[in-house]
Structure 1
């Protein structure tokens, strides 16, 4: 019988190893940047063409290599930092020339020029698919210049699995950001197709964060530090009010190596407890310094996941450090006991207490309706208080409806009240939402009785649609805590999550606009300017057509800046800059997790974002319309992400609650 087991040639073995190390162009950028940092470089330049498909060039001013080291760095299992098995548990560096170079050279055309400062001549090496084509002495600058050309040229199947240039470039920028944040003392620059993306001078960590993410981060950074004999935590955290909807600006570094650790993330979020809006994620760049013997970095090929020998202690120290920073910098909301809530400095907006030297006109006075006078009868005073309360609540509700009706003047409350009375008199038989009994007619308003809240219908696109399915008895729809709707059906009671119902309805409308390319835009009276990160700027350019189909209208205005001229009509009333920036950030976060097409991903992201503002009080007409829209949607039972929208309590189940 012939022997069937044989040793693989080095070229094939290197290609197999490359499958673990070189997954995409971003993997090459990561490995070579870390090599440059370990080579003690003070300046590193990254040049990329076609998102790394055609060229990745890394130029550094590090220590360089000798002729022998340059050749040995491309051999399998070559390394400069491990001499014995004990060294595996004392690794603090990223790696010097070696290890990854053999894998990269197996699937690309590689050209390396390197020279030490004390040598007169450097070394040039050319390799194609693990085959050394040339090695000669040349004249070059001190440091190392690596060119990776035509990645996966000899593995076409791997090349075909690469994503679009915009997606691959976003991965490259992510890896670039991680290495640049971990090494602020090193200057970094990044160019893509001859366009400068980043130019980061060497400096402090705070300067690096501001240079990388924008000047707006200057006001939200707060230093965080906690030192113990076991571990040291340091870095910067963001203020709660600057938290974003997408979780994409959160960085952990253990011994200056970027990691992903959900357990530590839970500790950071726990320290913000009570200060973050629902669904928001804080910004943080946190470094953990610990003895390498207490961690295991070899549980993942890319070393982005590690294990601590005492995770609970690290968790507690991390939470204490962040919580201390939150307290020291007064990030938590606090009560101002010096302010007088009975006095405001004009209108219904709050103001600070003026100094005695202020003019008499600026002295705060009690709020008094403009139509109030001393000649009013005592019977009208209760009505005044009622209207004041209703106006505040209506303003809040109107700000969350689909269509923003023209807001009545706050200085003409009497006219508003008269319009409410006329509305009630014109519809004396409109039913109210009393689900315990039959609908009762509403009596016309009189001077001594307050107007029922159900007599007013807010402007909403929901009112333009048909009533709900006949399954739900419309007159028996009740709202609970501005969050849930309770509707009676023949078999019992249906409970509807209001926010999720809006998410389902909005998703269908956004997805239809994208697929039919008929999104309607609401023009802005004053165009808004938004500055994005380089990653999101590139993403917006790539998704320009889809964003226009949704209803966005925007133009480029300088580097990483857009001017927004229009937004989708279904999102009017929101902050346009935040809506645009958060949508792009959410799309970028979803790219790596979800295997969805663009239309699906964009419709999901925008629907979830827009549904948050619909946790508000609805009139009876709006409740009916929402239920009607929900049952007319493609899937009334679940949101686009699979969360349940409705649940039914049968009569038997209700009866069981009383046994």
Structure 2
């Protein structure tokens, strides 16, 4: 007698439930997806005891036909697929027909539904047994309530995590459902307390505001991009708002929430150098594509997907986000603005008398020895400062217009990245103080020069075969420990444009070096490059460009407590304005911060709270 036999249907359903119904949040996801597939415009979800006692989903969708009621809990019973070819262009969120069968195998389920021109019904299902009940209210749509979850599978019940964790999973899934379907009003209620409710008016930004608050929603930026096969749309959040993990990168394809490491990494790459290390952006993107290019039949959760033309999509997503970021003014503001508050201002003060006094005081300053002179010639410095003080009597906007004539001529080709800024002075030899009609700005001089040098090195490392030949080669001596690794990296160094040869036991000569190494101190730069390359286990030119650019820019930038004269500060600001992204250093720290006039006046109580 044979030993192989077919398992009873109730055991089959319990096995399937192990894949589909991992936890309460899995049930919420499956039922709400059914409501969305039924074209519901209003969905309400009621949770008790983190779903372990009860999960109830109420919708106003198409409803279930009376004649289909006995098929609801049969495995692979579905209205969403008709033939095998439909698997190649899945347009619905659900399609397997396993959810209700799996849920019914490990819980008690009540279904109440009515479709258009059909009879209303109510059905109780438990452990494979049907029981019909009376419908108390006829309404189009469906009400599904799941109770006593895992009552007949104690092993699964035992390994459910703590209730707070389960509640967090449910909230996370419902938030993603709301973000992916802004045209549907979604309400979530926990133990008779409403967690959130979206209006269903189609505004994704309003949903973001409800779920994440004003700080996030006011810093969102709309993005859109398309290619022959894909269309990307949604919102990104300015890089000054960050999170500690990548879970806030919300991605959906055809309104289906998905997880895809490569797509998330493409977005992180687009934010590159705009955020600090180990910080991640908030992003809300939907990708629209032909279902034929997408395979969602990979995992029972339907969150993992496979994509055709993946490289094209990755490039589109990264370029779309990067382009939007490059168009932004990313100077963070200090303090909290509240423009809605009424402004109560003090009397305007007349500073004309103070200007004359300031000129006299400026003259007296130069009669005393100065600890850290800014200029070589004290007399010329005095004259220039007096002239600047006199000019300050001129209205600010007139000076701005005059100064901008030259600025506009030089920057007419490139889009202006920074606002017009007038340099006032320097604080502690570290921060450059600036102003315009909106308020005060502080620039970190080290971070600014880091950004300038980073973009120079990144754009020029290994961009060609040009190099600088030396009549007298440079000779470098390294320790015995370094010699072994340098010998292995000679080919990599030559690929970068160095002509380098071993000339002794510990000596190397360089007779040619690439032109991107600056001429002010090439010997030191060459030594740094050799040392850097020798300590890399695997040489990758793209990764090298990135890491080398950061290292070189950090080492070669002016440090704190380094005093600059006015021309040096102006040159630094001008060079920063020509950068592609002048708002952060390569490590993601801000270069410039802004304090508005309103915020300053509020601090001095010139504007009452």
Q: Same fold (TM over 0.5)?
A: yes
**In structure 1, what is the equivalent of residue 180 of structure 2?**
182
User: Is 2:202 aligned against 1:212?
Assistant: no
* TM-fit CA distance, 1:306: 1.0
Cα distance in 2 between the residues matched to 1:9 and 1:149: 24
Pairing of 1:457-468 with structure 2 (within 5 A): none
**In structure 2, what is the equivalent of residue 381 of structure 1?**
370
* TM-fit CA distance, 1:307: 1.3
For the 8 Å contact 2:25–2:169, the answer to whether it is kept is yes
**In structure 1, what is the equivalent of residue 171 of structure 2?**
173
* TM-fit CA distance, 1:362: 9.3
Cα distance in 2 between the residues matched to 1:15 and 1:30: 19
Cα distance in 2 between the residues matched to 1:244 and 1:365: 48
Taking a change above 3 Å as real, the CA distance of residues 159 and 362 of structure 1, as seen in their structure-2 partners, is farther
Taking a change above 3 Å as real, the CA distance of residues 331 and 299 of structure 1, as seen in their structure-2 partners, is farther
282-291 or 88-97, which deviates more: 88-97
Quote the RMSD (CA, aligned, Å). 3.2
What does the per-residue CA deviation read over 1:456-509, in whole Å, with 9 as the maximum and x for residues that have no partner? xxxxxxxxxxxxxxxxxxxxxxxxxxxxxxxxxxxxxxxxxxxxxxxxxxxxxx
Cα distance in 2 between the residues matched to 1:5 and 1:364: 101
Count, aligned residues? 369
* TM-fit CA distance, 1:218: 2.9
* TM-fit CA distance, 1:109: 0.4
* TM-fit CA distance, 1:333: 5.7
* TM-fit CA distance, 1:322: 1.1
For the 8 Å contact 1:21–1:302, the answer to whether it is kept is yes
Pairing of 1:436-475 with structure 2 (within 5 A): none
**In structure 1, what is the equivalent of residue 351 of structure 2?**
361
For the 8 Å contact 1:113–1:140, the answer to whether it is kept is no
Pairing of 1:486-565 with structure 2 (within 5 A): none
For the 8 Å contact 1:275–1:333, the answer to whether it is kept is no
For the 8 Å contact 1:267–1:318, the answer to whether it is kept is yes
Pairing of 1:298-313 with structure 2 (within 5 A): 298-313=297-312
**Matched residue SS, 2:351:** helix
**In structure 1, what is the equivalent of residue 158 of structure 2?**
160
**In structure 2, what is the equivalent of residue 16 of structure 1?**
15
What TM-score do the two structures reach when normalised by structure 1? 0.52
For the 8 Å contact 1:115–1:143, the answer to whether it is kept is yes
Cα distance in 1 between the residues matched to 2:209 and 2:87: 36
For the 8 Å contact 1:102–1:130, the answer to whether it is kept is no
Cα distance in 2 between the residues matched to 1:324 and 1:265: 17
For the 8 Å contact 2:49–2:191, the answer to whether it is kept is yes
Taking a change above 3 Å as real, the CA distance of residues 97 and 36 of structure 1, as seen in their structure-2 partners, is farther
Cα distance in 2 between the residues matched to 1:113 and 1:11: 23
**In structure 2, what is the equivalent of residue 33 of structure 1?**
32
For the 8 Å contact 1:39–1:96, the answer to whether it is kept is no
Cα distance in 1 between the residues matched to 2:54 and 2:130: 19
What does the per-residue CA deviation read over 1:24-64, in whole Å, with 9 as the maximum and x for residues that have no partner? 00000000000001111111110000000000000111111
**In structure 2, what is the equivalent of residue 268 of structure 1?**
267
What TM-score do the two structures reach when normalised by structure 2? 0.56
Taking a change above 3 Å as real, the CA distance of residues 375 and 326 of structure 1, as seen in their structure-2 partners, is closer
Pairing of 1:599-610 with structure 2 (within 5 A): none
Cα distance in 2 between the residues matched to 1:53 and 1:75: 24
Cα distance in 2 between the residues matched to 1:364 and 1:7: 98
For the 8 Å contact 1:67–1:123, the answer to whether it is kept is yes
What does the per-residue CA deviation read over 1:270-326, in whole Å, with 9 as the maximum and x for residues that have no partner? 222232223221111101111111121122221111111211100111112112222
Equivalent in 194, 199, 206 of residue 197 of structure 2: 199
**In structure 2, what is the equivalent of residue 341 of structure 1?**
none
**Matched residue SS, 2:152:** coil
**In structure 1, what is the equivalent of residue 128 of structure 2?**
130
**In structure 2, what is the equivalent of residue 531 of structure 1?**
none
Taking a change above 3 Å as real, the CA distance of residues 362 and 122 of structure 1, as seen in their structure-2 partners, is farther
**In structure 2, what is the equivalent of residue 489 of structure 1?**
none
Cα distance in 2 between the residues matched to 1:73 and 1:47: 22
Pairing of 1:234-633 with structure 2 (within 5 A): 234-328=233-327, 330-332=328-330, 360-361=350-351, 374=364, 380-383=369-372, 391=428
Unaligned runs of 5+ in 1: 335-357, 395-611, 614-659
Cα distance in 2 between the residues matched to 1:71 and 1:141: 20
For the 8 Å contact 1:122–1:138, the answer to whether it is kept is no
Pairing of 1:61-72 with structure 2 (within 5 A): 61-72=60-71
Taking a change above 3 Å as real, the CA distance of residues 393 and 319 of structure 1, as seen in their structure-2 partners, is closer
**In structure 2, what is the equivalent of residue 653 of structure 1?**
none
**Matched residue SS, 2:247:** coil
Cα distance in 2 between the residues matched to 1:187 and 1:167: 25
Taking a change above 3 Å as real, the CA distance of residues 248 and 373 of structure 1, as seen in their structure-2 partners, is farther
* TM-fit CA distance, 1:246: 3.4
**Matched residue SS, 1:242:** coil
Q: Decide which structure has the larger Cα Rg and report it.
A: 2
